[in-house]
Amino acid sequence: MVPTARPTRRCGRSLRRAERPPGARGASGRGSRERASRSPPRLSRPAQAAPDAGGVSAAARGRPETSTRLSTIGRVPTGTIYAVANQKGGVGKTTTAVNLAACLAEAGERSLLIDLDPQANATSGLGERANGSSSYDLLDGAPLAELARPTRFANLHLVPARAELAGAAVELGRRDDSERFLAHALERAGETYSFVFVDCPPSLGPLTVNAPAAADRVLVPVQAEYYALEGVSQIVRSIELVRSRLNPKLTLSGVLLTMVDGRTRLSTDVSAELRRHFGALVFDTAVPRSVRLAEAPSHGLPVIAYDRHSPGAEAYWKVAMELVGRR
């Protein structure tokens, strides 16, 4: 269980805005009592997120089950790169990339999120903007160290995206190494970061191919709907193709069910079908539909910072624990 202690007061416009979610009432009456009872905690800042001797932050130590699993993070090699990919849009891909990076960062692990989607939703989801350099500059061979910027959250860095990434297909078509530019850029990422998450575009274009070509593992979020099942088959075939031609070390880390509504037969059936086909590759934890999870990006916050006690936040903590426990 996550701690219930009230977090240390923070500063910052977005964080103050998150303390009063839409619909909150004034300073008195029922609205204030509800707001006080569910005031959304924030990600730890450097003073609170400094790792202890075991490599786990004080914030993570407050969750017995979390600190136990994350303290065994050595199961996953340092510098592991995850491509979070699904060519079907609207499956929770960006939400997954942002929140897993945030969970591991709060646990004291240096994490990097690379936004490779021209929509730049992962960038805005952390309350950032690509003013200046962006992931597009990786095409020109700019060093990763010059592009990765600190965010407001301890241990979490970001390479933001800009809209001009949409023209990357043309640029990549002129290069001999068009499918491996990201692999070259991330060759030494493990010297700085324990975990790297690449948020891919919802397509099978050259940017998406570059991500698994550079990654160690692919994480596939899948919405609990039947159309999503077709997308899983396609991405699995793409992974096999990349493995055979570009990246022999690539593995499928797992399939993550998102937007699950446990009240519906559809979610139950889709979950059963996925587990029948992929077995243990499907994460035990499924991410539920959650209003707070949907609201968080509009405040530029991961859900664990927007409302740590929400079902979505607790689900992503559990997914993070599963992720680091997978070899």
Which pLDDT value is given to residue 75? 63
Task: Tell me the two tokens of residue 56.
Answer: 């786990």
What's the pLDDT score for residue 70?
A: 54
Q: What pLDDT was estimated at residue 73?
A: 52
Sign of CA dihedral 116, 121, 122, 127: positive
DSSP H stretches of helix in the chain: 13-18, 30-37, 46-49, 58-61, 64-70, 93-106, 121-125, 144-147, 168-173, 181-185, 206-214, 226-245, 265-278, 291-295, 303-306, 311-325
Q: Is residue 234 part of a domain?
A: yes
| pLDDT beyond 60 at 136 | yes
Phi-psi region of 282 (alpha: psi -120 to 50; beta: other; left: phi over 0): beta
Average pLDDT rounded to a whole number, residues 231-235: 82
Plot region of 271 (φ>0 → left; ψ -120 to 50 → alpha; else → beta): alpha
**128 phi and psi, to 5 degrees?**
-115, 165
Q: Is residue 107 part of a domain?
A: yes
User: 74 versus 162: which is more confidently predicted?
Assistant: 162
Of 39 and 178, which is predicted with more confidence?
178
Q: How far apart, in whole angstroms, are the C-alpha atoms of residue 105 and residue 99? A: 10
Q: What is the pLDDT of residues 9-36, one digit of tens each?
A: 333 333 333 333 444 444 444 444 443 3
Does residue 39 form part of some domain? Answer: no
**Does residue 5 form part of some domain?**
no
Q: What is the dihedral of CA 314, 318, 321, 325, to 10 degrees?
A: 180
Q: Does residue 13 lie in a domain region?
A: no
Number of domains present in the structure of the chain: 1
CATH of the domain at 277: 3.40.50.300
User: Which whole number is the average pLDDT over 222-250?
Assistant: 88
Q: Which domain holds residue 89?
A: 46-325
Residue 259 pLDDT: 93
Asked if the structure places residue 303 within a domain, the reply is yes
pTM for the full predicted model: 0.78
Residue type for position 61: R
Of 215, 220, 177, nearest to 196 by C-alpha is 215
* pLDDT tens digits, one per residue of 94-130: 999 999 999 999 999 999 999 999 999 999 999 998 7
Asked if residue 157 belongs to a domain, the reply is yes
Higher-pLDDT residue of 33, 138: 138
Say if residue 278's pLDDT is above 80: yes
**In angstroms, rounded to a whole number, what is the distance separating the alpha carbons of residues 57 and 60?**
5
Residue 33 lies in a domain: no
